[in-house]
Chains A and B, each alone.
Chain A
Amino acid sequence: MSRVHDMGGRFGDGPVRPDAPNAPVFATEWHARALAVTLACGALGQWNIDTSRHAREQLSPIDYTRFSYYEIWLAALADLLVHKGVLSEDDLAGQGSDAPHPLAEKRLTADAVAGVLAKGGPADREGGPEPLFVEGQAVRTRHPGGNRRVSGGHTRLPTYATGATGRILRLHGTHVLPDSAAHGLGEAPEPLYAVVFPAGELWSHPENPEDEVVLDLWQSYLELV
């Protein structure tokens, strides 16, 4: 049921290696270009953040594992451009036409960059269902997890936290539901909560039973205990 990106709590990874002091923002020039090309393509307006996350998660486990971070971005971007009809497979193979593209008028120009980055893409929405839970209430995450609408689809409930009991820490307001928005099924906004779980509820051998993990979870991921 879980997919390769859903790695919270996994065993077998080695030490975390902090970077050297004063390490550059981009380790190589192509990292910087990969980030910039991805952001510039996002400005064409053909997908949302949940769609692009889903595209990265859709990579085969063998690709996801062997690719470095920006290689994952690049692969997902190329796949999205074709799946959304912006480019053809012939284009990617270097055999496409140079005819003017219908989306060219949406191209992000240099003078618009600062405004676009400053605006961002807020995901809070008016309306949607009323909040069912209040601060301090005990809730359980649904089990099994996974996207309820699309088999193998995008969701933001990590596998390590399915079926776990925690309590509502705070309400973040009403936000777009990624399980729906990632698949072109509408924004379906829902109340979003920070839910706190004792470490012992999530791990059979917690490092310290006093420790806690907080997850941001949509209302439909939760049920009252």
Chain B
Amino acid sequence: MPHDHSDHPHALLPPDPALRVKALETILTRKGLIDPAALDEIIDTYQNKIGPQNGARVVARAWSDPAFKDALLADADPVLAGLGYSGRQGEHMVVVENKPAQHNMVVCTLCSCYPWPLLGIPPAWYKSDAYRARAVREPRAVLADFGVSLPEGTRVRVWDSTAEVRYLVLPMRPKGTEGLTEDQLAILVTRDSMVGTGLPRSPEGKT
């Protein structure tokens, strides 16, 4: 049987992670420290209620409403609070705007800071060693892993989100979207475009 090479207390739990979480949940429930119904509620929230659709609505509105965009870029917190998109892991938000001369990209090299209220739980790649190690040193090679190449003359600015402040990228509005409503625009906004590892979809359905 494999065992932990560790004298940390966690080594007392079963090594298999699914059994490990089950064991911990059972112990804590028996002692009255956690409520399984609260766990279900937390999971339902991040599975069904909070996700990149929130961020996409904010981006679509910023594309449609210059005054909203100005306020968002100047001081995002009150704007997002007004929309109900604040709270845990998004207490202090800064929105950074992509422009032809500058592409923004977000990483957290020390852990996995990410704007939960706007994008939900980060995807596995955002938390991976490869992304955390490489995004700051070779962002263009990382973008190539996502199939993204930038025009000549575009500077890449990588935001290593090592503090309590979380960043959201405001991507550039795709061409050919002039007549679209906010709802139609929101469909074009991908999660990766708001992290800076992707670009929004084009209205023809190409990415």
Interface on A for B, CB 8 Å cutoff?
Answer: 5-19, 23, 25-30, 32-37, 39-41, 44, 49, 53, 56, 58-60, 62-63, 68-71, 74-79, 81-83, 86-87, 89, 91-94, 96, 98, 100-101, 103-104, 107-110, 112-114, 116-124, 156-158, 160-161, 172, 175-176, 192, 194, 196, 202-203, 207-208, 210-218
Contacts and interface: CB of A to CB of B under 8 A. Distances in A.
B8 A214 contact: no
Interface stretch (B61-69, B159-167, B175-183): B159-167
Contacts of B137: 8-9, 160, 202-203, 207
A69 B165 contact: no
Contacts of B156: 208, 211-212
Contacts of A27: 124
Contacts of B50: 117
A110 to B, nearest CB: 4
B159 A107 contact: no
B206 interface: no
Contacts of A104: 31-33
Contact of B27 (A15, A76, A92): A92
Given A63-B4, A114-B41, 7 more contacts: A19-B123, A70-B17, A101-B32, A110-B38, A208-B140, A213-B136, A218-B163
Contact of A13 (B13, B87, B123, B134): B134
B4 A212 contact: no
Given A120-B88, A208-B140, A211-B158, A92 B43 contact: no
A212 B160 CA distance: 10
B71 interface: no
Contact of A92 (B5, B13, B142, B192): B13
A13 to B, nearest CB: 4
B131 to A, nearest CB: 5
Contacts of A53: 110-111
B27 A94 contact: yes
B47 interface: yes
Interface in B1-28: 4-6, 8-10, 12-13, 17-18, 20-25, 27-28
Contacts of B129: 7, 10, 13
A215 B139 CA distance: 15
Contacts of B163: 156, 172, 175, 192, 216-218
B133 A41 contact: no
A62 B5 contact: yes
B157 A8 contact: no
Contact of B88 (A9, A108, A117, A202): A117
Contact of B9 (A79, A120, A156): A79
Contact of B6 (A60, A70, A156, A207): A60
A215 B179 CA distance: 38
